[in-house]
Structure 1
Amino acid sequence: MIYPAPLEQGSVIAVTAFSSGINDAAKGRYQLVVTDLKEKGYVIIEGKCLMGNSKHVSAPAAQRADELMSFLLDDTLDAIAAPWGGELAMEILPLLDFDHLKKVKPKWLFGFSDISTLMVVMSTKLNWATAHSPNLMNLVANETETLTANFLTNMATKTGASFTQYASQQHTDKWPDSRINSAAILEPYLKTNWRWLVSPQNGSCLEGRLIGGCWDTLIHLFDTPYLDLKRYAKECDEGVILYLENVEMSPADLVRSILSMKFKGVFTHPKAVLLGRSAYPDTHDKDDLTYHEVIKRHLSDLGIPVLIDMDIGHVPPNLTLINGALARISCEEGSWKLTQSLT
């Protein structure tokens, strides 16, 4: 893996919305976040594909791709951030010149949701480490939730070093309403419960290199030139740990997605699977499938460990998960611990 330089005071972060842009209701939040980052010593460069959102995107695909490429080729930058995810980052993948990008300085990309559509491709095609993490718009200075508040500290980890995170005590299914209060923060109130769907045969520890992101978007990339998990796994001597989180797939959609992955042999490549909590609401009809019924029925037979209900994705908070980092996950005296080494 190639790890970009640590993010610290003086680091230059370019902001461009290669998926959804910032609508009028979100401008106050965005300005607050940017002001906070500048006060912390980061340098912020704003792209033109940022403000405004029409037909799910900040600008036509060609414009979004051109701006992103210009930032990726600019070696004065240390990171590139989208304000948040969206729906159609996939449109720009065929418009990026990955051969050219092999010759430039790697930059951090970070965030979650549709941002992972791009990050996983960068990590598997270019071997750049990327960070599945809180989105830029989550980074208000007054945030008190630990995993979110520690994101920038994690990103300051030097190559060769490591950082450790613990499972949250509580999570929430309600995002703060920043339209009313630009400084609104997460208010966790639901008990967090990481647990094994399928436990390891020996001990209670997992080790391997992380790769993953938003299940809804990655399902369309597996077994394509943009996400060759077989090749990537062969290059990782320690084995690959695949992490996924569901946003909008109904239980029936999820069944079809899992079966598609099985048909393609996707689950033969990772040594373990990590799942976040599902953001799709279960119904109260006893005859309807639920998320947990689906994963129990269709993921219990993979022959590899499966850890579920983790702090990943659209039911916050979010761990900082470095695609490509060597991870060790363990449960010690009832406390879940995740250590990532940037080696």
Structure 2
Amino acid sequence: MNVPSGDLWAATKLEILEAIPDGIEVDLSRALTFYDWRHRGGYHVTGVTKAEYQLSCSTREFGSMLAREVSMLLDQAMEHRLLLAQADRARTAPSPSWLLVTAYYWCVFLALAWLRLVGKIVTYLPTAELDRFKKLAPGDVKKAPQNGTFILTTQDLAGARSNVSCRRLRANNFHEALWTAFAGDISQRLHASSSATASWETRLYSALEVHRAAEGNSWPSKLRNIVNYRIGFGYQACGGHPVPIMLSPLNVVKSATPEALIIAIEELHSKVAVRAVESAPNDYTELMVHFGSLLTHVLDDYSVDVWATRAIDPRWNARRDKYLRSFEMNAATLWPK
């Protein structure tokens, strides 16, 4: 394992192996996606409150779905990563602002993959799907959460079945809800850890805490919004004023070790701790690129370890490597290395 590992990894791995248990479908192409699981998975709605829908489902089916979703999200992140790699290799970016949007969605898919890996799904559920839950629920449903952003988490195991909470989040905006859930997950692991605060592993998890910026948990989304949607702020490359600066941070992280990324993120946290996105777009952009690079290293190492433990068929990863070779790259040369 290339990233620092110790007690935090050990505790996280136990949680992952509960979410993705022994006996899952090892050929991930045969597992259901989350969308298909919602429509034809073997779950029952056991209760509804004003805050959540309570489900009972096959532990193995749910775990297989999580493993497939993680792999698909890593594929999605890899496609954005490849676009960033090409810009770095060419040392040119016709639109630095749009490249920032690419970097943002790279990080979004990484954060979604992390949460699914540890057994949590953040998703938007429309009214039609919630109506299906209500029809499947026992008795007369008087109060139930309305459409919005939800988080699914496994509450406990009951033999071959799991009890899953589908709880509506306070933030109705999907992106804000995602970053809040991600920040909460990382912070919870740090607070529960007995590892030394100065250990590389503890510093790694602290580096992934997105709430350390002045803008709070959802600064990645705020950065994307101000660059992409505020007319006159981004998209000024043709006038000679590219916002943000993208190529420099791409080159800096290209071959950085996890430890070097951690040190850089700690320095960037101090820069953005009292500054808003609007006043420091380049610092926040550099932080985003470093954050995505570090989380990429973590997910690569963690998923390889768990996939080996669960004897998951390697053909999915082989397919990814084949795709990279078509762009004259492979897992060892793709940015960031």
> Which of the five TM-score ranges fits, normalised by the shorter chain?
under 0.3
Q: TM (normalized to structure 2)?
A: 0.25
Larger Rg: 2
TM-score of the pair, normalised by structure 1? 0.25
- Relative contact order: is structure 1 or structure 2 higher (C-alpha 8 Å, sep ≥ 6)? 2
- Higher strand fraction (1 or 2): 1
